[in-house]
Structure 1
């Protein structure tokens, strides 16, 4: 038999590439045979390189001609023998297989209606249903790029969702469907959006305790940089995502300074306390905050269906002693409970707790009877990453959500968390001074204060969760 060189095989393969539907079984067999018979070594190549090249030719013929899968076992054995699991990856599915020599690995599983793609940083395979891929198509037919909204496909489930072809390079995945529609995704987009996804994608969250937060510079941005530089604002938002709080230093020591630093992040959120507010014992409101007493670590607005996203504090004046500010990372406290008592962690995650706020009409303000139910924390349903934290022993309502038989387990778990929060190693104390505006993520970090003497005037406000998170996404922080 005459020697057949690589170019001969390549031309044969390209014939099948041009007319894959016309490839007969004997043609597929021929191409496999030609690849196996290639014996013209290039002298500077190793035997292993020659074998890998032969295998790639055979695999290409298999993919192009819509192989029925009869070479499945031999192909897999050959891959293991030749490369021991080399970057040339070919996972045969018995349908139309597609291999990518550079970039993410892709393989089809038509019987299961699944596309298997390595899109995660650690190389784990994501099994993406064809239905999901078609539903999330970003073509002009499926997505309005002017309004950034989906165009509903009411016939999605009636369509043949098996791709006609799947192609991939090192950046993009392209699918041609049997009805002629074409879809393209970048692998980066798939990694960001396909289940389970991640809550914080661009800024890695840093849980902290007293020792960790004191081990380096505090998250702070000078007022002028925060106000007049996009990078300064981005740094403030990044601090909020990473640590759950940030400081704006060298601000005007006035309520107007508080407003400016806050509105740079998002519009001020109106509440029962108004927009921008001041706190002093002389005001006599129906709240522990308006006294000289110390306040343990807590989050605000637990009695609202959606608590404020950020709470802002700015000390304007204090002529006495005490009154240091307290911060505790609620996510770190929850994670500590998880490590020390996994059952307590599950109990707190799965138990709805009532929170309430009651106030009588006074000084022209209406009466309130607010109540909300929520677990102390919630998780991302796919990754298990902590999403929210809500803890306020002062506003915890009458416990009407726990069966009597489950009360001992709940109280044990709740006490465990309370003790972790109040441990000295959990608490970060800091003495605020006029000109330092403190912004705290109210869905993660608890705040409190020490008891104090004398006159103390604090300016502050709330910022909407949706508003500041939107700004963080726009800045590329989330």
Structure 2
């Protein structure tokens, strides 16, 4: 999340303890509101707080330049504000002096959780003490050189009740009863506490034919894609947002395909090699190597981990037809969720066999690949769609459904097939030499119409982990 305006956010905040059952799935936006304050406002508030401490301490100890950290100044400040400086450990009283930018801290240790809440917000972020201690990023528990966790094998044997909790405009500081201290920024908590990792910088857009035909296609010029970090970031944002992107003006050669692809990540080797070409003249035992049409599908469904991105680049075509087809699988699932919740649940909970068989030929070994997966998976906590896997050509023999459950399964499978094949879901367009198409193979299906003549297609696969890592590094995800 970014760009939040805090002008409408109340300066009064509180940090209290509630029972774990009060947890919410929408905390990230409230934390980000806190940490996105304008620098000028932060500086002004810090200066005001310092002046307040110094003035109070002058009353308590007579030292005009005291920074407000001596015991007498804290006692005087507590007295002025009506606070109990010794009671914040257990009674829920304030642990820090309140300023317009500083949350109030209180504890109810019997609940063993902390909550961060804006004054006017109905939802809050509830964080168990156990989680906070386990995710300490101090040198004792985290190696900042290797970016790896240092296991705490005595975690559950420790007294996980904080001795003191302090909060300022930037984050939390906890002093534990064993003397260890931990600091957390609100930004880090927002991105890492459940389910903060799904707070995307780029919003996913579900689409159908009408939306794609009414807006400019997600595309970046070859020069911008290759030479500019901003261009690469835009390509990655398109992939996150729409599930595909185009690189226009590329050299209409296999080398042009390679360059556009490797700008995203290294090419992934597979049974087809690295960079490959497809034409009917090759005669492979796959429908892709024919003149026939191909319905919408994702690739590598028969692999435990399918390729993350599939790349397509038309190099030559001297005939007619061969239009490209894209279908947003996530949009199809969302449609099914709304129209037929029972079918949605059946497909979500039913693993389907996918397989690929090939005989030995041209020096290549035989293959018998098989994998099991539901058509789609979702995050158990947030419901966010994670994967989509659909290929009617590679669906194996149904050995995963009990006989009595077959009618329900086939009804659900037919329902999603109808959504996918609906004209409202299908976006057709004509690729031409020089336009490289990159498709998120974990979300968007591809296909083509039948064609005549000679048609040469260049392409490759890119690893899911590689391109997602690149997207994170460039803040596109």
Tell me if TM exceeds 0.5: yes
- Residue 189 of structure 1 corresponds to 188
Equivalents in 1 of 2:199, 2:214: separation in Å? 23
Aligned-partner SS, 1:424: coil
Distance 1:364 1:346, change over 3 A: same
Equivalents in 2 of 1:316, 1:289: separation in Å? 16
Shift of 1:146: 1.0
Q: Which runs of 5+ in 2 are unaligned?
A: 1-51, 62-68
- Residue 423 of structure 1 corresponds to 422
- Residue 109 of structure 2 corresponds to 110
Distance 1:241 1:150, change over 3 A: same
- Residue 437 of structure 2 corresponds to 438
Assess if the C-alpha contact under 8 Å between 2:312 and 2:460 holds in 1.
Answer: yes
- Stretch moving more, 341-350 or 285-294: 341-350
Shift of 1:198: 3.8
Assess if the C-alpha contact under 8 Å between 1:316 and 1:458 holds in 2.
Answer: yes
Equivalents in 2 of 1:274, 1:19: separation in Å? 71
Aligned length: 416
Deviations 1:127-151 (A, max 9, x none): 1111110111111111111111111
Equivalents in 1 of 2:59, 2:460: separation in Å? 69
- Residue 135 of structure 2 corresponds to 136
Q: Which runs of 5+ in 1 are unaligned?
A: 1-5, 36-56, 70-93
Deviations 1:337-359 (A, max 9, x none): 00111111111111111111111
Shift of 1:124: 2.0
Equivalents in 1 of 2:199, 2:245: separation in Å? 17
Assess if the C-alpha contact under 8 Å between 1:109 and 1:116 holds in 2.
Answer: no
Distance 1:122 1:202, change over 3 A: farther
Equivalents in 2 of 1:103, 1:416: separation in Å? 53
- Stretch moving more, 367-376 or 151-160: 151-160
- Residue 467 of structure 2 corresponds to 468
Shift of 1:19: 6.3
- Residue 270 of structure 1 corresponds to 269
- 1:219 is the counterpart of 2:218: yes
Distance 1:128 1:200, change over 3 A: closer
**For 1:273-292, what aligned pairs fall within 5 Å after superposition?**
273-292=272-291
Query: RMSD in angstroms over aligned alpha carbons?
Result: 2.8
Of the two, which has the highest radius of gyration? 1
Equivalents in 1 of 2:119, 2:191: separation in Å? 9
Equivalents in 2 of 1:155, 1:13: separation in Å? 46
Distance 1:344 1:196, change over 3 A: same
Following TM superposition, where does structure 1 have runs of at least 4 consecutive aligned residues deviating by more than 4 angstroms? Answer: 10-15, 17-20, 94-101, 103-107, 119-123
Shift of 1:121: 12
Equivalents in 2 of 1:122, 1:218: separation in Å? 38
- Residue 126 of structure 2 corresponds to 127
Aligned-partner SS, 1:111: helix
Equivalents in 2 of 1:353, 1:305: separation in Å? 12
Shift of 1:378: 0.9
Shift of 1:108: 2.9
TM-score by length of 1: 0.82
Deviations 1:94-132 (A, max 9, x none): 445558653667543311211112389966212111111
Equivalents in 1 of 2:88, 2:216: separation in Å? 61
TM-score by length of 2: 0.82
Deviations 1:163-213 (A, max 9, x none): 111111122111111111111111111111101224352111111111112
